[in-house]
């Protein structure tokens, strides 16, 4: 089968399936052929599940034949390895979970199985989602399909790279501080982070529990809306999922931007930002204006600069507790040469966790310690409230905010690994949205040519009010449909 079919959006492929032009089994086989051809270079997958995928595809074909399909039915998709899948190994990118096969499905997987989706594998990621480049994986770095010596962004590195390179039509990721939006931007695909509480976290391996949210990487805004439609909603097993209605996104996605009030927060055009990135985003904003949106550039979110500090206290604090369960006693990697129970538990963590994970466990442990708790954790929570209020105020006058996703395009593998702070700064434009629990989406908005000649994607971030993903999709979709950036495919 021609690779062309692998470049379609989920909705386009679903049209072919529905029209009987191609079967799900054929799409799935083509996807695995593509994986065999390019995954060695991209390293987007930790675990491939071909056997299960083909069985799911056969069932999907039956659903289509019975007229019981929906846009997700039979479409090959990839799942970030932070989401537990019953019977399919789930590592969270860590050695400590190398042999771990979950006994249950995450809530999102249960919902997706009902749609008849096809899961082709579990994608590579920064260990426990701690990273912005995909380099912190125990299974090797993921490579950016646009330039293989560059990072695809992280932590949902494999999910972004798989969707960008035709190894999956769409993928689930998780976003704690930008882990879906940032790799979306750096890999040239759509990256959706829903409102905190919109999608059940039951079965998402926790990193920063008050920030984590499952999202999607897709080839179009409409696909992202369709995936959210399938996985959103209250789940009684996740007490932080919110019991409010999920609107029909498809019904309003084409309503356009005419009259919508779009704010541009000035703090998001940071010092040191790449001029091509700035230019591409400014052009995109002008494009929205041309489509009828009311642009307001006089918007200020003064606490933006503090969001990074807040994030690097709250997320590691929560992570230090979330990762305490990995001690080799119950599952996963278990060190057994310590000579005693305690030495084995320590050895499990010493050899099972990578450097970045250990660094964040230590930061979090420190921040929660007696004598430091008030100065760090409590203060961070107060600033968090402040950041939320600033967004609330901005949304009194604006329907959405738009901004860049990252200060620069994809950087080289190894470029920032020695300097954690430089690495952390890559998330400076996505973290505030996570801190405030807002929905955000990144949409391809252009390219930049790097010094080495690499042509690299740039992303536009659209941010909306809590639980107002519908308006966010409208804006992102209207912009996307007025451009061709999303139709470009890496040369791989």
The verdict on 321 binding other proteins (CB under 8 A) reads yes
**Closest separation in Å from C-beta 202 to other proteins:** 5
When the beta carbons of 327 and 390 are compared against other proteins, the nearer one is 327
Element (H, E) at 282: helix 275-290
Closer residue to other proteins, CB minimum distance, 278 or 379: 379
3-state SS string for 14-32: HHHHHCCCCCHHHHHHHHH
Q: Residues 170, 10: contact at Cβ < 8 Å?
A: yes
Give the separation between CA 492 and CA 490, rounded to whole angstroms: 5
Query: Among residues 24, 80, 320, 434, which one is catalytic?
Result: 80
Q: How many Å apart are CA 342 and CA 340, to the nearest integer?
A: 5
Give the span between the Cα atoms of 179 and 160, in whole angstroms: 10
Piece in contact with other proteins (CB under 8 A), picked from 29-37, 196-204, 268-276, 473-481:
196-204
* Closest separation in Å from C-beta 329 to other proteins: 5
Residue tagged 């034949």 (tokens): 65
- Smallest gap from residue 315 Cβ to other proteins (A): 10
Q: Which of 49, 94, 137, 155 is catalytic?
A: 155
| DSSP string of 331-382, one letter each residue | SS-----SSSHHHHHHHHHHHHS-HHHHHHHHHHHHHHSTTTTIIIIIHHHH
104 binds other proteins, rule: CB under 8 A: yes
For other proteins, the binding residue among 13, 57, 75, 97 (CB under 8 A) is 97
Q: Is 179 one of the annotated active-site residues of the chain?
A: yes
Classify burial at 275, counting beta carbons within 10 Å of its beta carbon; exposed 0-12, middle 13-18, buried 19 or more.
exposed
Interaction between residue 204 and other proteins (CB under 8 A): yes
Alpha helix segments (H runs only) across 19-82: 24-42, 50-65
Segment near other proteins (CB under 8 A); pick from 49-57, 65-73, 208-216, 260-268: 208-216
Q: How far apart are CA 401 and CA 463, in angstroms?
A: 5
Q: Is 300 annotated as catalytic?
A: no
Catalytic site residue from 179, 187, 200, 241 = 179
Over its C-alpha atoms, the chain yields an Rg (Å, rounded) of 21
Contact between 201 and other proteins per CB under 8 A: yes
Catalytic residue list contains 159: no
Q: Exposed (0-12), middle (13-18) or buried (19+): which is 19, by Cβ within 10 Å?
A: exposed
- Which of 32, 100, 117, 353 is the binder for other proteins (CB under 8 A)? 100
CA dist 11 and 15 (Å) reads 6
236 touches other proteins by CB under 8 A: yes
Taking CB under 8 A as the criterion, the residue among 273, 306, 331, 481 binding other proteins is 331
Residue 335 contacts other proteins per CB under 8 A = no
Among 159-167, 195-203, 221-229, 407-415, which window interacts with other proteins (CB under 8 A)? 195-203
Stretch that binds other proteins, among 67-75, 253-261, 323-331, 459-467 (CB under 8 A): 323-331
Per CB under 8 A, 382 contacts other proteins: no
For other proteins (CB under 8 A), the number of binding residues is: 44
Tell me how far apart the alpha carbons of residues 250 and 320 are, in angstroms, rounded to a whole number: 40
Distance in angstroms (rounded) separating the CA atoms of residues 284 and 383: 31
Candidates 240, 334, 385, 483; binder of other proteins (CB under 8 A) is 240
Residues making contact with other proteins (CB under 8 A):
83-84, 90, 92, 97, 100, 102-104, 106, 201-206, 208-210, 236-240, 317-318, 320-321, 323-327, 329-331, 341, 345, 365, 368-370, 373, 377
Q: Provide the annotated active-site residues.
A: 80, 155, 179
């Amino acid at each position: 089968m021609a690779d062309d079919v692998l470049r379609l959006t989920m909705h386009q492929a679903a049209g072919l399936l529905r029209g009987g032009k191609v079967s799900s089994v054929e799409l799935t086989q083509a996807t695995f052929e593509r994986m065999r051809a390019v995954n060695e270079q991209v390293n987007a997958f930790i675990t491939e599940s071909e056997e299960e995928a083909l069985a799911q595809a056969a069932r999907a074909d039956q659903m289509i034949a019975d007229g019981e399909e929906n846009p997700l039915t039979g479409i090959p998709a990839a799942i970030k390895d932070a989401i537990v899948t019953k019977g399919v190994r789930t590592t969270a990118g860590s050695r400590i979970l190398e042999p771990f096969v979950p006994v249950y499905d995450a809530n999102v997987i249960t919902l997706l199985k009902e749609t008849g989706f096809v899961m082709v594998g579990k994608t590579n990621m920064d260990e426990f989602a701690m990273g912005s480049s995909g380099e912190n994986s125990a299974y090797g770095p993921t490579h950016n399909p646009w330039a293989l010596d560059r990072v695809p962004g992280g932590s949902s590195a494999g999910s972004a790279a798989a969707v960008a390179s035709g190894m999956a039509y769409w993928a689930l990721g998780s976003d704690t501080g930008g882990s879906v939006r940032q790799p979306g931007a750096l890999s040239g695909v759509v990256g959706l982070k829903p409102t905190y509480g919109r999608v059940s976290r039951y079965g998402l391996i926790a990193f920063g529990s008050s920030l984590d949210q499952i999202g999607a990487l897709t080839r179009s805004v409409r696909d992202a809306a369709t995936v959210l439609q399938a996985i959103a909603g209250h789940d009684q097993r996740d007490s932080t999922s919110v019991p409010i209605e999920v609107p029909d996104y498809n019904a309003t996605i084409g309503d356009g931007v005419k009259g919508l009030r779009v704010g541009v927060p000035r703090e998001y055009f940071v010092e040191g930002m790449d001029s091509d990135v700035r230019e591409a985003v400014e052009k995109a904003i002008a494009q929205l204006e041309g489509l009828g949106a009311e642009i307001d550039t006089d918007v200020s979110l003064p606490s933006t600069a503090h969001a990074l500090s807040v994030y690097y206290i709250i997320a590691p604090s929560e992570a230090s507790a979330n990762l305490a369960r990995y001690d080799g006693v119950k599952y996963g990697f278990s060190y057994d040469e310590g000579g005693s129970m305690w030495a084995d538990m320590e050895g499990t963590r010493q050899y099972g966790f990578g450097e970045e994970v250990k660094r964040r466990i230590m930061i979090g442990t420190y921040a929660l310690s007696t004598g430091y708790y008030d100065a760090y954790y409590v203060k961070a929570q107060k600033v968090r409230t402040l950041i939320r209020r600033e967004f609330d105020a901005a949304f009194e006058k604006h329907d959405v905010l738009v901004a860049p996703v990252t200060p620069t395009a994809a950087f080289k593998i190894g470029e920032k690994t020695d300097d954690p702070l430089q690495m952390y700064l890559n998330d400076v434009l996505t973290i505030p949205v996570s801190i405030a629990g807002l929905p955000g989406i990144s949409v391809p908005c252009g390219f930049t040519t790097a010094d080495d000649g690499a042509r690299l994607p740039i992303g536009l971030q659209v941010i909306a009010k809590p639980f107002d993903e519908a308006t966010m999709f409208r804006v992102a979709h209207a912009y996307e449909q007025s451009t061709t950036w999303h139709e470009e495919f890496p040369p791989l």
